[in-house]
């Protein structure tokens, strides 16, 4: 193993409950022999962590979240960066970006990039940013200042809400980019030099999601004793479509006994709870907030049907292929979702779940009723979904592509 294997992984925030797939990737890169440092733009806000976070050995470093809070640190970084030839080559790049995006956020990323370049870049051989928007901006400026190579992992919001001009220029400068859906890869390929973009699905650590021991239930909602347990895991944000789900639940027939659990924090949680009250279904809804992975897994195993009616929100933000759908299918759960983004790349409607158009509330209610009543169909879909996830979505299969790309950037033979 060469010493040239030191990678700075730049993240928007760490640790985050909603980004288990990133933590899982970092752990696998450590196991592959890379020396990882985590560079976070923000301090953590979640109250819990997942077991995977405790297994990661990488040191955690936090850049100034706001420049005014650490003025001396940013000023000292700037002084030292001006001594680098790369600073004077990068300054026009930043100024050109700032002219097109004259925002406080742009200035903050420049300040963070100088701190990254001064304090950390010299001790690393490559910079790898998760998310194409702000983390990549910091990574790109820091890499150009310090003369390091950099690469990108793009996901969903960062692709569909970033300006096209900025993505083109980042793709010109980076070594490579990986993304997790065919739609995202096709779009980014239209902006990038040939061969720069690679499709790599987020795999699931199946050792953390072993098959559930008990058989799926025969709950069909015909009596209270056979109440159908529905579950949604996802942040309370517009793109998850949870408001439409609540309206669909309110349309279910009175003779169908159901209970719905939501797991996830997010800014709209209070509004959704109020909506459930106004629809008269609050007693059948349980908003649990963000939970650690062990409790999420237990909820999957005690539920009958997974629902995530994702949409494209007003800003253009949307899901890619949500990891929670992969998790649910690993537990032999049928899935009801929508036919957008990367979701149809896993869920084949009528085979391992049902897909509808976003915000079609009547259609969503019919789909929920159908799979609640038809136990045989629901359980067959769950079985098919589990078989596919366990054969095609193991993280050990997908992480190899990223390791190969990093090796090329590091120009190291292993």
Residue 214 in domain: no
Specify whether 302 is located in the same domain as 402. Answer: no
d(CA 8, CA 216): 43
| Model pLDDT for residues 46-68, shown as the tens digit of each residue | 888 889 999 999 999 999 999 99
Specify whether 151 is located in the same domain as 255. Answer: no
Specify whether 55 is located in the same domain as 168. Answer: yes
Is the pLDDT at 152 greater than 80? The verdict is: yes
Specify whether 14 is located in the same domain as 86. Answer: yes
| Per-residue pLDDT at 2 | 45
d(CA 390, CA 386): 6
pLDDT, mean of residues 34-48: 94
| Model pLDDT for residues 69-127, shown as the tens digit of each residue | 999 999 999 999 999 999 999 999 999 999 999 999 999 999 999 999 999 999 999 99
pLDDT, mean of residues 227-245: 97
- Reference 334, options 313, 354, 316, 357; nearest CA is 354
Specify whether 190 is located in the same domain as 230. Answer: no
Domain count for the chain: 2
Is the pLDDT at 413 greater than 80? The verdict is: no
First to last CA, the chain: 6
d(CA 365, CA 360): 9
Specify whether 284 is located in the same domain as 356. Answer: yes
Specify whether 193 is located in the same domain as 46. Answer: yes
Residue 274 in domain: yes
Residue 334 in domain: yes
Residue 88 in domain: yes
At 3, the pLDDT band (50, 70, 90 cuts) reads: low
SS3 content of the chain, % helix, strand, coil (to 5): 50, 15, 35
Is the pLDDT at 158 greater than 90? The verdict is: yes
Specify whether 172 is located in the same domain as 229. Answer: no
Is the pLDDT at 414 greater than 70? The verdict is: no
Domain that holds residue 369: 224-392
Residue 212 in domain: no
Residue 368 in domain: yes
Sign of CA dihedral 41, 42, 43, 44: negative
Q: Is the peptide bond before 15 cis (omega within 30 degrees of 0)?
A: yes
If you average pLDDT over every residue of the chain, what do you get? 95
Residue 219 in domain: no
Specify whether 144 is located in the same domain as 70. Answer: yes
Q: Helical H runs in 101-213?
A: 104-119, 134-146, 157-160, 164-173, 182-189
CATH number, residue 17: 3.40.50.2000
pLDDT, mean of residues 8-15: 97
| Per-residue pLDDT at 244 | 98
Higher pLDDT, 196 or 215: 196
Are the C-beta atoms of residues 326 and 320 closer than 8 Å to each other?
Answer: no
Specify whether 257 is located in the same domain as 346. Answer: yes
Specify whether 400 is located in the same domain as 291. Answer: no
Is the pLDDT at 1 greater than 50? The verdict is: no
| Per-residue pLDDT at 412 | 54
- Reference 18, options 113, 139, 156; nearest CA is 156
Specify whether 45 is located in the same domain as 175. Answer: yes
Residue 215 in domain: no
């Amino acid at each position: 193993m060469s010493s040239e294997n030191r990678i700075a992984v730049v993240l928007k925030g760490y640790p985050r409950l909603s980004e288990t797939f990133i933590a899982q990737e970092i752990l696998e890169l450590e196991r592959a022999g890379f020396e990882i440092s985590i560079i976070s733009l923000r301090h953590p806000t979640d109250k819990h962590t997942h077991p995977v976070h405790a297994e990661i050995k990488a040191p955690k470093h936090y850049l100034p979240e706001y420049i005014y809070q650490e003025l001396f640190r940013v000023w000292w970084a700037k002084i030292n960066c001006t001594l680098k030839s790369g600073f004077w080559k990068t300054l026009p790049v930043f100024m050109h970006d700032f002219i097109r995006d004259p925002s406080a956020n742009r200035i903050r990323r420049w300040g963070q990039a100088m701190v990254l370049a001064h304090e950390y870049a010299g001790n690393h051989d490559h910079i790898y940013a998760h998310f194409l928007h702000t983390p990549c901006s910091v990574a790109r400026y820091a890499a150009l200042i310090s003369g390091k190579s950099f690469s990108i992992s793009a996901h969903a919001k960062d692709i569909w809400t970033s300006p096209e001009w900025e993505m083109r220029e980042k793709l010109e400068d980076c070594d490579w980019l990986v993304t997790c859906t065919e739609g995202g890869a096709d779009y980014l390929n239209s902006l990038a030099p040939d061969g720069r973009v690679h499709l790599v699905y987020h795999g699931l650590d199946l050792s953390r999601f072993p098959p559930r021991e008990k058989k799926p239930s025969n709950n069909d909602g015909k009596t209270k004793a056979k109440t159908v347990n529905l579950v949604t895991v996802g942040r309370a944000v517009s793109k998850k479509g949870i408001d439409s789900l609540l309206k669909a639940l309110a349309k279910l027939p009175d003779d169908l006994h159901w209970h719905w659990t939501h797991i996830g924090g997010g800014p709209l949680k209070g509004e959704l709870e109020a909506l459930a009250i106004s629809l008269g279904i609050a007693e059948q809804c349980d908003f649990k907030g963000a939970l650690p992975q062990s409790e999420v897994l237990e909820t999957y195993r005690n539920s009958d049907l997974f629902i995530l009616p994702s949409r494209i929100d007003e800003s253009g933000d949307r899901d890619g292929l949500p990891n929670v759908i992969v998790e649910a299918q690993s537990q032999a759960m049928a899935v009801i979702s929508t036919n957008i983004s990367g979701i149809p790349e896993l869920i084949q409607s009528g085979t391992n779940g049902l897909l509808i158009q976003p915000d079609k509330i009547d259609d969503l209610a019919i789909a929920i009723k159908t799979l609640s009543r038809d136990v045989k169909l629901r359980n067959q879909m769950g079985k098919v979904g589990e078989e596919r996830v366990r054969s095609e979505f193991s993280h050990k299969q997908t992480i190899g592509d990223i390791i190969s790309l990093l090796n090329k950037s590091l120009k190291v033979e292993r």
